[in-house]
């Protein structure tokens, strides 16, 4: 009676620094076979331990700018130090047509670009339980200078102010609980009436006909509403 849309859903997951959004996405992908992660393109150099096509698709700055000119990106941004990051339009379209629900892990700027083009996009913001916890997590990594930590905090506060533009916010106090909350969000979105492609309900005559020819019910009296 209900026909679901054949194409997948577009899901954006953003979050402040050290909110654990990468860990949330990793678990979501392991637990849900119909989810796919769109791999972003970047012009920045590959770091030790990174794999091309897994962490990012690494291209030169010239190649990235050529793709911009060709309209190959759903969204892109030029970040500090002049490096580009962007989402491939062709890859996302291909995955959605295959019926995959596609996750984009992008910042608030890119999220709004895509939301303007695709209003049905599901926007989820992942937060750490507090900025004190963010500070603790950054220090635990031991990789940033004081200036870099300050820059991360300034960016985090700016991004938190953008939360009202999202559909959902999930506080990542416990990873498993956060993953379950995101799964519940995605399940509820699948059940929304405006995401159903078609609803067909048999009329009364069709129902009575099928009922009459079903031998399991041949001795049951039928009462027809005369209204």
Distance from C-alpha of 43 to C-alpha of 24, rounded to nearest angstrom: 25
Write the DSSP symbol of residue 6. S
Compute the average pLDDT of residues 192-199. Answer: 70
Range 51-74 average pLDDT: 95
CA 75 to chain CA mean position, Å: 14
Contact 102, 11 (CB under 8 A): yes
Does 140 have pLDDT greater than 70?
A: yes
Give the count of alpha carbons within 13 A of 71, CB side only.
0
Distance between CA atoms of residues 3 and 116, nearest Å: 27
Phi, psi angle pair for 77, to nearest 5°? -145, 150
Domains contained in the chain, CATH given: 2-38+100-217 (3.40.50.300)
Tell me the percentage of the chain whose pLDDT exceeds 70.
83
**Per-residue confidence band for 204, with pLDDT thresholds at 50, 70 and 90:** low
For range 205-209, the mean pLDDT? 62
Which is nearest to 169 in space by CA: 48, 14, 1, 5?
A: 14
Q: Give the list of residues 6+ apart from residue 13 with CB closer than 8 angstroms, or none.
A: 21, 24, 25, 103, 104, 105, 124, 125, 126, 182
Q: pTM for this one?
A: 0.80
Q: Is the pLDDT of residue 224 over 60?
A: no
3-state SS track over 72-105: CEEEEEECHHHCEEEEEHHHHHHHHHCCCEEEEE
Mean pLDDT comparison of 2-6, 94-98, 157-161, 188-192, highest-scoring range: 94-98
From CA 47, how far away is CA 176, in angstroms rounded?
Answer: 29
Starting from the edge strand earliest in sequence, which strands make up the sheet with 101-105, in order? 35-37, 101-105, 10-15, 122-127, 168-171
Of 1, 38, 4, nearest in space to 196 by CA? 4
Residue 159 pLDDT > 70, yes or no?
Answer: yes
User: Quick one: average pLDDT of 46-60?
Assistant: 93
Q: Which of 26-30, 46-50, 161-165, 191-195 has the highest mean pLDDT?
A: 26-30
Is the separation of the CB atoms in 185 and 168 below 8 Å?
yes
Mean pLDDT, residues 123-130 taken together:
94
Q: How many percent of the chain have pLDDT more than 90?
A: 56
């Amino acid at each position: 009676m209900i026909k679901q849309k054949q194409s997948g859903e577009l899901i954006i997951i953003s979050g402040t620094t050290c909110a654990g959004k990468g860990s949330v996405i990793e678990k979501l992908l392991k637990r849900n076979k119909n989810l796919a992660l769109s791999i972003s393109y970047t012009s920045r150099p590959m770091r030790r331990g990174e794999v091309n096509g897994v962490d990012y698709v690494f291209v030169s700055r010239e190649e990235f700018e050529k793709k911009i000119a060709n309209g190959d990106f759903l969204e892109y941004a030029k970040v500090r130090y002049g490096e580009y990051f962007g989402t491939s339009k062709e890859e996302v379209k291909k995955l959605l047509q295959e019926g995959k629900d596609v996750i984009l892990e992008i910042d608030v700027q890119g999220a709004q670009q895509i939301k303007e083009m695709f209003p049905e996009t599901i926007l989820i913001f992942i937060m750490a339980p507090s900025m004190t916890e963010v500070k603790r997590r950054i220090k635990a990594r031991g990789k940033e200078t004081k200036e870099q930590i300050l820059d991360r905090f300034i960016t985090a506060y700016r991004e938190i102010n953008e939360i009202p533009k999202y559909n959902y916010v999930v506080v990542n106090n416990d990873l498993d609980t956060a993953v379950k909350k995101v799964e519940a969000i995605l399940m509820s979105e699948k059940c929304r009436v405006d995401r159903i492609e078609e609803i067909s309900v048999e009329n009364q005559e069709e129902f009575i006909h099928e009922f009459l020819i079903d031998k399991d019910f041949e001795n049951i009296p039928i009462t027809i509403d005369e209204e």
